[in-house]
Amino acid sequence: MFVLNELTRNLPSHVPFVGPETLERERSAPFVSRLGANESVFGPSQKAIEAMQREAVKVWRYGDPENHDLRQALAKHLGVKDAEIIIGEGIDGLLGYLTRMIVRPGTKVVTSLGAYPTFSYHVTGYGGELINVPYRDNYEDIEALLEAADHHQASLVYLANPDNPMGTFHQASVISDAIQRVPETCLLIIDEAYFECVPDQNVPPLNPDDQRVIRMRTFSKTYGMAGARVGYAIAHRDLVAAFNRVRNHFGMCRISQEGALAALDDQDHISRTQMRIAESKNIIMKIAESNDLDTIDSAANFVAINCGRDGEFAQRVLQSLSRQGVFVRMPFVAPLNQCIRVTVGPKSDMLVLEQALPKALCDARA
């Protein structure tokens, strides 16, 4: 019979995020507004859709294990070399591979308390020891992260910029300074999933010669292709090459490869989506304001609305929204969990939110 190894035996059974489909099955009805997973409700480029529809007839072929065309296109788009780009099954997949390559039982890894749970899942999964640094005023606390990395001789430190779940953003100068101060034997992961949402995209220039940092990006957010599972990272060519020792070489969906290629080529769609994200964030802020709630300034495609009381209260707001057909999420830990996290969306979704939120607050107060 099967005998799990010790590491796996001691891992908890994991449910990362309960998917909206699960919640829909529980409530026996689809959501009216899907504003909980920071997807792009505005959708992908029409050209990407058409490319995927065309490619569907070729799905009998495995995808190119080298992701050659997409790496070439990204290299050109980003001004780096294709040997400095690795593509994987979403940032989630890449975080898994990277963790596997660096972490072994006992390896110290630094992240923020309440930051992306899937990264923590991978670290724990490979036996790493997490050091969780509290947020400071809704921002990831870069000083404290670096200090913890140094103090604990960590091998990895994780920073999302813009942050998820709060949406806060550190300017390029702050990040550049942080990169300079990464401890000698530590790698800084900058998760830039929401990069394209940043109004002026004021992030440090890509510099794959720098072995201290890996930058991760995705087609799941502004590109509107979460379901396709295409993430990528820009890093030193030696680190990129190392992914080839562990990754699932034939792991990429062929249709997704073609879709990403077409999506990248349609930057007009990205510009339009960026405008729509900005508009929708303003609407969410106004809706919050008209309910006497504060919001956190967001550089991402969602807004954290502070419900003004503790996490239990925010949970009740979320549950009422869910009953009314509005799917949103909330941070997992205090004090961030005073907030609910609302993804931007078209005006129709904003109208639903506008109508549902007052009742949700009323329900929560009852």
Residues 240-299 that bind its own copies (CB under 8 A): 241-242, 244-246, 248-256, 259
Choose which of 33, 35, 52, 157 interacts with its own copies (CB under 8 A).
52
Q: Is 53 near its own copies (CB under 8 A)?
A: yes
Distance in Å, CB of 101 to its own copies, minimum? 4
Query: Hey, CA dihedral for 272, 278, 281, 282, is it positive or negative?
Result: negative
Number of residues that bind its own copies (CB under 8 A): 91
Interface region with its own copies, contact rule CB under 8 A, candidates 42-50, 198-206, 278-286, 318-326: 42-50
Interface region with its own copies, contact rule CB under 8 A, candidates 91-99, 200-208, 264-272, 357-365: 91-99
**Site residues for its own copies, window 125-154 (CB under 8 A)?**
125
Q: Is 59 near its own copies (CB under 8 A)?
A: yes
Distance in Å, CB of 318 to its own copies, minimum? 19
Choose which of 74, 80, 86, 89 interacts with its own copies (CB under 8 A).
89
Q: Closest CB to its own copies among 89 and 140?
A: 89
The answer to whether 235 and 94 have CB atoms below 8 angstroms apart is no
Q: Is 61 near its own copies (CB under 8 A)?
A: yes
Q: Is 58 near its own copies (CB under 8 A)?
A: yes
Q: Going by C-beta distance under 8 Å and a sequence separation of 6 or more, which residues neighbour residue 267?
A: none
Displacement of CA 97 from its chain's centroid (Å): 16
Distance in Å, CB of 107 to its own copies, minimum? 7
C-alpha angle 50/56/57, rounded to 5°?
115
**Site residues for its own copies, window 174-233 (CB under 8 A)?**
184-187, 211-212, 214, 220, 224-229
Q: Is 326 near its own copies (CB under 8 A)?
A: no
Q: Closest CB to its own copies among 246 and 278?
A: 246
Choose which of 34, 71, 170, 281 interacts with its own copies (CB under 8 A).
34
Q: Are strands 339-343 and 302-306 parallel, antiparallel or unpaired?
A: antiparallel
**Site residues for its own copies, window 62-81 (CB under 8 A)?**
62-66, 68
Choose which of 33, 71, 74, 93 interacts with its own copies (CB under 8 A).
93
Distance in Å, CB of 52 to its own copies, minimum? 4
Distance in Å, CB of 203 to its own copies, minimum? 20
Cα–Cα distances (Å) from 353 to 208, 283, 294, in that order, read: 42, 10, 16
Distance in Å, CB of 16 to its own copies, minimum? 5
The answer to whether 151 and 119 have CB atoms below 8 angstroms apart is no
